[in-house]
Structure 1
């Protein structure tokens, strides 16, 4: 969720302060330890990292929303520019008013796909060649919307994009073309009455035969089954009271256990399959309005965009392991 006008900042702060206290950490189950900031970015240059896709070599491809850039951050913390989305004259982007690059998905061959919100015909999904290069728009999405989280289903050859303003999950052929409104409904729609803080369906992940999404205003984590023919099943609520949730990722060895970025409170919460959740990383660990989480093996990556704190946008890494019973 990129930097928004001051009234929206206040709205997110109210959500964070109004949330119920997180449940205490259980004595067993996954634990997140050894957090460290792997790379610091430059807020003055618009380098607010919004979303993340992991490369096989352990590096991370990040979208830098306000800079309209996609960069690669190595394991040693070195940053390399991969692409810059084209500037847009007179953007009328909902929520933020500026052109911003948001979600990212990485194909096995290294091709990158990103969502670009502009309030113009440039709004949609853009493709970036493997190892970087000139971006090309492959699908237009409504300029009145706010395409955010993105995921690629390589088996079916389709992309899914979460539209935070229109409350829609779009489905687009991987090669590009006409989008389909794959999932809609009240569970995906924004709940905040203020236009500058209307952020519904936000993060999006493919996991175990379903599209999972977060709803920022509602504070929910949702599961949408993918039926055998590819159609969307009924939306299932899997967790609630996740106020100001942004993106999330699943732990590879724990089935439906997820780590969720709580942007308003500068926290990451561990969400269990039964919907219970508790805080595992905080501002004290280096978080500054986290927006996205990625997991590979025992390593956790978290992007902090510093949209509201306006301090230290960064990429944080930590370790995840199974805590033994007492």
Structure 2
């Protein structure tokens, strides 16, 4: 989530104290070692890296929320601008007030999709052509909402977007068109009474036939099965006590073990299928309000947006050693 006004920082701290205690970890799990920051960004230019989509060559496409940009970063740290979302006059974005680009998903053909929250008619899902080009809005979402995490189901040809304010998972045709409120309910809704800190459904991944969603205020990781007809099954809570969780990524495509970015504490936690979790990366490793995680092979990619620390937004890489026997 992007930077919020100073009173909301206090609210976020209160939220952190109010979340459930971290559950003890049981059994072995993948080890995360050798963290290194490969790219540093510039807060004065709005470069807060928010979300990650991995390219086949091992580079990472990142959204820079306040800069309204999408960039590509190689494993060696070289950065290239892909696109800039259009400036919006008089944005009225919930939570943050400014126009921000948030979630990102990458199709197999290289097309990128992002969520853009503006508080205006430009709020929604935008498409960026493969190899870059002019972004184009393909679906409008409610201006009163805050579209955040985004994932693509290639087989069904649909996108899923988490709305942090309206407590909704939207479903949008990949080709564009009218969105559908695919999943709603108390488990997706924000819990904080302060408008500037109301962040419910946030991170989102499509994994093993289900849509997985984090709820930042609740500190939970949720799983919503996709039924054969494409409708949403019952929302299940898979983990609790994840202090100010933002986005997350799965360690591999065959298991439900995840790495979750905890933005409030600048940590990454390993979340096991039984819901237990433990810290594997900390501020000492270079994290500064971690926002998202993506994993490919033995490499974990972690973005830090520095929304509250105001120090060193960056992209960090670490090694993942597969020891999980689940």
TM-score norm. by structure 1 comes to 0.97
Give the structure 1 partner of residue 103 of structure 2.
103
Q: Which string of whole-angstrom CA distances, capped at 9 and with x for unpartnered residues, describes residues 161-215 of structure 1?
A: 0000000000000000000000001110000000000000000000111000000
- Are 2:68 and 1:68 equivalent residues in the alignment? yes
User: Which whole-Å CA distance do the structure 2 matches of 1:278 and 1:126 have between them?
Assistant: 35
Does structure 1 conserve the Cα–Cα contact (< 8 Å) formed by 2:220 and 2:245?
yes
User: Which whole-Å CA distance do the structure 1 matches of 2:171 and 2:210 have between them?
Assistant: 13
Alignment of 1:23-62 (within 5 A): 28-62=28-62
- Are 2:295 and 1:295 equivalent residues in the alignment? yes
Q: Which string of whole-angstrom CA distances, capped at 9 and with x for unpartnered residues, describes residues 50-103 of structure 1?
A: 000000001000000000000000111011000000000000000000000000
Give the structure 1 partner of residue 211 of structure 2.
211
Could you say what the CA RMSD is over the residues aligned between the two structures, in angstroms? Answer: 1.5
Does structure 1 conserve the Cα–Cα contact (< 8 Å) formed by 2:23 and 2:241?
no
Cα displacement (A) at 1:33: 0.3
Q: Which string of whole-angstrom CA distances, capped at 9 and with x for unpartnered residues, describes residues 215-258 of structure 1?
A: 00011000000000000000000001112000001110661110
User: Which whole-Å CA distance do the structure 1 matches of 2:253 and 2:169 have between them?
Assistant: 27
Gaps of 5+ in 1: none
Gaps of 5+ in 2: none
Does structure 1 conserve the Cα–Cα contact (< 8 Å) formed by 2:104 and 2:151?
yes
Does structure 2 conserve the Cα–Cα contact (< 8 Å) formed by 1:15 and 1:264?
no
User: Which whole-Å CA distance do the structure 2 matches of 1:294 and 1:20 have between them?
Assistant: 25
Alignment of 1:219-234 (within 5 A): 219-234=219-234
Give the structure 1 partner of residue 114 of structure 2.
114
Does structure 1 conserve the Cα–Cα contact (< 8 Å) formed by 2:35 and 2:317?
yes
- Are 2:68 and 1:91 equivalent residues in the alignment? no
Q: Which string of whole-angstrom CA distances, capped at 9 and with x for unpartnered residues, describes residues 133-184 of structure 1?
A: 1100000000000000000001000000000000000000000000000000
Cα displacement (A) at 1:28: 2.4
- Are 2:252 and 1:252 equivalent residues in the alignment? yes
**Length, aligned pairs only:** 325
Cα displacement (A) at 1:322: 3.1
- Are 2:144 and 1:144 equivalent residues in the alignment? yes
Does structure 2 conserve the Cα–Cα contact (< 8 Å) formed by 1:105 and 1:152?
yes
